Structure 1
Amino acid sequence: MARMPQNNEAFIREVDEEVRREQAQKLARRYGVIVAVIVVLALAAFGGTLWWRSHQAAVAGQRGDAFTDAMANISNGKEAEAKKQLATMVGSDAKGYAPLARMLQADLLVRERKDADGAAAFLKLSQDGSVPQPLRDVALMRATTLQFDTLPPQQVIDRMKPLAQTGNPWFGSAGEMTGLAWMKLGQPKKAGEMFVAMTKDKSVPASLRSRVAQLAADLGYEAVQPQDMPAS
């Protein structure tokens, strides 16, 4: 026979604990299956994540091989085959390789002497916000170089402004086009200042610094000659 509690308070506490224990058992019986399902789904999701990562790595490797094959076909004169490969890559969701494929497509147009079409393709690539900035810069340089003789000088200057800055990897080429555009606009002072700045930038190739130093001298500006600069 169970021992009776010594007072009402103890009795009420024991009853309360028994009720809560019974409720806990009911909840376990009622929701035990749901908890099990949640655990199974969580494990499946984890396993799926691992599989997806492995799958993505494998796909990336395949696309890398396809891109390499396309470049090899271009080098070997098999441009028709390369075009098919590049078209497939551009039409896929291969974000890492699609912009590179588009770059090669534009370059193929230039190789076929379709400069206007190639320039338009490069320009479109440079304006695509989904493309990494370094590739967009390359595309903008290629488009502007191809269109330089037909573009209004001010448009050249505006395009090259972000790149024609000391320290920018494209300062040499962008600075030269900017300086020449200033000359076309009858602004020798701005052109000369740009050329002088280029001669002082050690990241600009020596041959280019030598060329713009001569241009600066022709405009009446004294520029630093590459041979006069101390070694880095």
Structure 2
Amino acid sequence: MSQADSFIDEVTEEVRRDKLFANFRKYGWIAAIAVVLIVGGAAYYEYSRAQQEAQAQAFGDAILSALEQNDTDQRVAALEAITAENAGGRAVLGLTEAAELAQIGDTDAAVAILEGIAADQELPVVYRSLAKFRSLALQSGTLSAEERRAGYEDLAGAGSPIRLLAMEQIAMTYVEEGQEAEALARLEEMQEEAGLTPDLLRRISQLIVVLGGTPGGASAAQDG
């Protein structure tokens, strides 16, 4: 390489370096802000997560503290004093309060809370389903077997988180009406369902035997 070429390369490199520094001086603040935002965003995320975890822990501790009160009236009062920060928290709090109200015989108040949870479209379906299921159970003395069965049918649809429990209750409403053959058919149908827990399978088998059927086999009951 000639001295002239070497000199030209050195000059070109200096020009590039000067342009780089000039551009950095001109636009470097953008990169600096980007770095600050990235670091600040990560810090805010960690802070927010810590805050959420602290709130969730405080909320759980408040519920546990309320449930440690000596009698049901005190527990209900303590639960009513708790404030939930989000929809899920409200659902958990409501389900817990409804259970305590049912314990002291205030069924109407418990059902009102449960129906409110069941109708809240902001909540995940599992909360709404549990609330509806419990509400139907509490109304066994005021709703007919047919009315409750209609509610359980809604909860027994495909994809329902409590499908099997609802199917069990549908069979029980038929037993309540004296339609034992239909109840037996529903219970035998349940045996083919996936996801049966050992406890639920045991209950179904016992009911089938009581109704004159054979667990895992065809019904031995006769109509009429």
- After TM superposition, the score normalised by the length of structure 1 is 0.67
Q: How far 1:51 sits from its partner (Å)?
A: 2.1
Q: Residue 62 of structure 2 is aligned with which of 41, 51, 66? A: 66
Task: Specify the alignment match of 1:29 in structure 2.
Answer: 25
How many residues are matched? 208
Query: Does the 8 Å CA contact 1:182/1:188 hold for their aligned counterparts?
Result: yes
**Greater Rg over alpha carbons, structure:** 1
SS at match of 1:148: coil
Task: Specify the alignment match of 1:148 in structure 2.
Answer: 140
SS at match of 1:151: coil
Whole-angstrom CA distance in 2 between matches of 1:141 and 1:21: 73
Task: Specify the alignment match of 1:5 in structure 2.
Answer: 4
Q: What are the equivalent positions in structure 2 for 1:22-171 lying under 5 Å apart?
A: 22-73=18-69, 75=71, 77-79=73-75, 81-86=77-82, 88-89=83-84, 92-93=85-86, 95=88, 97-151=89-143, 153-161=145-153, 162-163=155-156, 171=164
Q: What is the CA deviation profile of residues 41-73 of structure 1, one whole-angstrom value per residue up to 9, with x for unaligned ones? A: 322222222222222222222111111111112
Q: How far 1:163 sits from its partner (Å)?
A: 4.0
Whole-angstrom CA distance in 2 between matches of 1:74 and 1:133: 33
Whole-angstrom CA distance in 2 between matches of 1:156 and 1:121: 18
Q: What is the CA deviation profile of residues 53-111 of structure 1, one whole-angstrom value per residue up to 9, with x for unaligned ones? A: 2222222221111111111126565135414333x23xx2273x322111122223323
Q: Which amino acid aligns with 1:24?
A: L
Whole-angstrom CA distance in 2 between matches of 1:212 and 1:149: 25
Q: How far 1:193 sits from its partner (Å)?
A: 0.6
SS at match of 2:100: helix
Paired-residue identity, %: 21
Structure 2: state its 5+ residue gaps.
Answer: 217-224
Q: Which amino acid aligns with 1:48?
A: Y
Q: What is the CA deviation profile of residues 177-221 of structure 1, one whole-angstrom value per residue up to 9, with x for unaligned ones? A: 31243467786543221244568975327567535533x23xxxx
Task: Specify the alignment match of 2:220 in structure 1.
Answer: none
- After TM superposition, the score normalised by the length of structure 2 is 0.68
Whole-angstrom CA distance in 2 between matches of 1:94 and 1:186: 41
SS at match of 2:81: helix
Query: Does the 8 Å CA contact 2:95/2:131 hold for their aligned counterparts?
Result: yes
Whole-angstrom CA distance in 2 between matches of 1:61 and 1:188: 48
Q: Which amino acid aligns with 1:72?
A: E
Query: Does the 8 Å CA contact 1:179/1:191 hold for their aligned counterparts?
Result: yes
Q: Which amino acid aligns with 2:131?
A: A
Q: How far 1:29 sits from its partner (Å)?
A: 1.5
Query: Does the 8 Å CA contact 1:106/1:118 hold for their aligned counterparts?
Result: yes
Task: Specify the alignment match of 1:223 in structure 2.
Answer: 214
Query: Does the 8 Å CA contact 1:122/1:142 hold for their aligned counterparts?
Result: yes
Whole-angstrom CA distance in 2 between matches of 1:59 and 1:146: 32
Whole-angstrom CA distance in 1 between matches of 2:172 and 2:99: 25
SS at match of 2:68: helix
Task: Specify the alignment match of 2:222 in structure 1.
Answer: none
Q: What's the C-alpha RMSD, in Å, of the aligned pairs? A: 3.9
Q: Which amino acid aligns with 1:121?
A: I
Whole-angstrom CA distance in 1 between matches of 2:138 and 2:56: 32
